[in-house]
Amino acid sequence: MSKDRLIIFDTTLRDGEQSPGASMTRDEKIRIAKMLEQMRVDVIEAGFPIASPDDFEAVKAIAQIVRESTVCGLARALDKDIERAAEAIKPAASGRIHTFIATSPIHMQNKLRMEPDAVVEQAIYAVKKARNYTDDVEFSCEDAGRSEFEFLCRIIEQAIKAGARTINIPDTVGYQIPHVFGDMVGRLIQTIPNADQAIFSVHCHNDLGLAVGNSLAAVMQGARQVECTINGLGERAGNASLEEVVMAIRTRPDVFPVETRIVTQHIVPTSRLVSGVTGFVVQPNKAIVGANAFAHESGIHQDGVLKHRETYEIMRAQDVGWSDNKIVLGKHSGRNALKTRLQELGIELATEEALNAAFSRFKDLADRKHDIYDEDLRILVLETEAHQATDTYELVSSSVCSATGETPNALVVLKVQGQELSAEAQGSGPVDAVYSAIRAITKETADLQLYSVNAITSGTDAQGEVTVRLEKAGRMVHGHGADTDIVIASAKAYVDALNKLVTQDEREHPQHSV
């Protein structure tokens, strides 16, 4: 019996980016979009073009590069938004405009300050305008989860008549419960006269931890598109997790009447890329992509898995992109061996210069760390591509004196626009001392909102991965650094964040721009 295909609509680059501190540069968005295309994601929502010039350019660049997935731009039901989105997706082989307007009483009254009739008219106008630019128009009823059923029927019927071919039912504030939400979506499909002329979609938030459950309940009731993000990234508590939705459907074909075209082996590499770019570390017990997702410590579990894997594993780790973490490279490995292994990991360096820079960093790491793992390589490439020759600040050296009963003291040397400057400072710990010295050189006053340390691999020579988040004047950026010396990694992360504060690469956070 053939199954319906479930369209996977990934909004990591749009809704995912709206997580505080998760803003991405254009080049970072392009890297993630390429990975999503390799994964065979059906629709990539590349951004909100009206939000900023940088977001517009990112969507346009992705539309020019991605050929196998539909590239989508988000737009409010406003002329300027739709026109900007249309211009951004114009180069796409397959482009979509996704326009939306709020439909719940609380949103219409308190946010839009519009009467229901006016909201319907605005929706009709927006869909018709978007259809002037593309046949692929999606319409969303923002806060549908708290909207009145009769009004949803009315506005959706009119949006379909106006030309919308995808109708999205978002649980914008994560309010719904799976059986209630699924029933609502099913009733809409059954009640709306022209429902057969559109694909029904769902976009669920995770405020109650039910985003995936709500999405799957809607699929069982006829939804044939799910909007989701890598690692469940997104505003507040996040969105439905792409990897969880996809693997639930793949693992339980006896339950779900649908299938996806996702190449699941790309899930873990893409998860790692998104985590590294955004600075949002994946929790160890996260389903599918967490470090412990396929780990077994209990003796009973270990014994069962060794005898027969399926006693405690419902999926194969390799099917979602986990490897055995075999050591394949070391200090005597050459450039071609590095390039080949990166290609096996789905990592493509754009230029020979980038490969040379990565190889130089690889050799430096191999001199300090005996065994080089796949995770080390992913972090190494991330650092290589993040480093810009035009960076304002560059870490030259850092030395710290820390002893029991003594106040730690740090001496830091930075290259600032080509000139080496140094400063010495004390702190409550070695990292605090280094950060105080960096602030003394740069005179930057940004507040440190987050400091996170994660071991990339096991062993005492493992690299430490440090993520910091800085906030200044309402603007948040993250910095990333990795090194076998955790204090050096901390310094790299702080300097990386400062460079983003003083450049135009990081755009203002989307919610602050429109």
Predicted model pTM: 0.80
Q: What is the pLDDT of residue 418?
A: 82
| Confidence band, pLDDT 50/70/90 cuts, at residue 323 | low
Which tops the pLDDT comparison, 306 or 76? 76
Please give the average per-residue pLDDT across 115-123, as a whole number: 97
Please give the average per-residue pLDDT across 385-411, as a whole number: 84
Residues 75 and 199 in one domain: yes
User: How many domains does one find in the chain?
Assistant: 3
| Integer Cα distance of 163 and 158 in angstroms | 9
Residue 301 in any domain: the answer is no
Residues 377 and 449 in one domain: no
Residues 256 and 127 in one domain: yes
Residues 477 and 496 in one domain: yes
| Confidence band, pLDDT 50/70/90 cuts, at residue 508 | very low
Residues 134 and 30 in one domain: yes
Number of neighbouring beta carbons within 10 Å of residue 287: 15
Q: Count the helices and strands in the chain (H runs, E runs).
A: 16, 16
CATH number at residue 49: 3.20.20.70
Q: What is the pLDDT of residue 329?
A: 67
Please give the average per-residue pLDDT across 67-74, as a whole number: 98
| Confidence band, pLDDT 50/70/90 cuts, at residue 476 | confident
Is residue 299 over pLDDT 60?
no
Q: What is the pLDDT of residue 379?
A: 74
Residue 63 in any domain: the answer is yes
Q: What is the pLDDT of residue 296?
A: 52
Specify the range with the lowest mean pLDDT, choosing from 17-26, 185-194, 219-228, 399-408: 17-26
Tens digit of pLDDT for each residue in 183-205? 999 999 999 999 999 999 999 99
Please give the average per-residue pLDDT across 85-94, as a whole number: 98
Please give the average per-residue pLDDT across 29-56, as a whole number: 95
| Confidence band, pLDDT 50/70/90 cuts, at residue 312 | low
* Residue range(s) defining the domain that contains residue 363: 335-386
Residues 11 and 86 in one domain: yes
| Confidence band, pLDDT 50/70/90 cuts, at residue 389 | low
Written as one string, the DSSP assignment of 420-446 is EEEEEEE-SSHHHHHHHHHHHHH----
Residues 479 and 344 in one domain: no
Residues 408 and 493 in one domain: yes
Residues 469 and 362 in one domain: no
Residue 316 in any domain: the answer is no
Please give the average per-residue pLDDT across 492-507, as a whole number: 76
Output the six-digit token pair for 230.
Answer: 């890598």
| Integer Cα distance of 197 and 139 in angstroms | 13
Q: What is the pLDDT of residue 509?
A: 42
User: Where does a domain end: 386, 417, 452?
Assistant: 386
Is residue 510 over pLDDT 50?
no
What's the burial of 241, exposed, middle or buried (CB within 10 Å: 0-12/13-18/19+)? buried
CATH number at residue 463: 3.30.160.270
When mean pLDDT is compared over 233-237, 298-302, 328-332, 357-361, the highest value belongs to: 233-237
Specify the range with the lowest mean pLDDT, choosing from 70-79, 129-138, 269-278, 301-310: 301-310
Q: What is the pLDDT of residue 327?
A: 42
Is residue 297 over pLDDT 60?
no
Q: What is the pLDDT of residue 93?
A: 97
| Confidence band, pLDDT 50/70/90 cuts, at residue 310 | low
Residue 318 in any domain: the answer is no
Q: Chain-wide mean pLDDT for the chain?
A: 87
Written as one string, the DSSP assignment of 101-127 is EE-SHHHIIIII---HHHHHHHHHHHH
| Integer Cα distance of 225 and 136 in angstroms | 14
Q: What is the pLDDT of residue 511?
A: 40
What's the burial of 334, exposed, middle or buried (CB within 10 Å: 0-12/13-18/19+)? exposed
| Integer Cα distance of 431 and 78 in angstroms | 48
Residue 323 in any domain: the answer is no
User: Where does a domain end: 386, 401, 419?
Assistant: 386
Q: What is the pLDDT of residue 306?
A: 57
Residues 75 and 208 in one domain: yes
What's the burial of 509, exposed, middle or buried (CB within 10 Å: 0-12/13-18/19+)? buried
Residues 50 and 178 in one domain: yes
User: Where does a domain end: 365, 386, 407?
Assistant: 386
CB 49 within 8 A of CB 73: yes
Specify the range with the lowest mean pLDDT, choosing from 32-41, 122-131, 380-389, 404-413: 380-389
Specify the range with the lowest mean pLDDT, choosing from 138-142, 223-227, 416-420: 416-420
Residues 23 and 160 in one domain: yes
Output the six-digit token pair for 332.
Answer: 């005597």
Tens digit of pLDDT for each residue in 141-166? 999 999 999 999 999 999 999 999 99
| Confidence band, pLDDT 50/70/90 cuts, at residue 445 | confident
Specify the range with the lowest mean pLDDT, choosing from 75-84, 97-106, 390-399: 390-399
Q: 């691999």: which residue's tokens?
A: 457
CB 354 within 8 A of CB 385: yes
Q: What is the pLDDT of residue 385?
A: 65
Residue 319 in any domain: the answer is no
Q: What is the pLDDT of residue 137?
A: 98
Q: What is the pLDDT of residue 506?
A: 40
* Element containing residue 21 per DSSP (H, E): none
- Percent of the chain past pLDDT 70, that is, above it, reads 89
Residue 307 in any domain: the answer is no
| Confidence band, pLDDT 50/70/90 cuts, at residue 431 | very high
CB 279 within 8 A of CB 467: yes
Residue 253 in any domain: the answer is yes
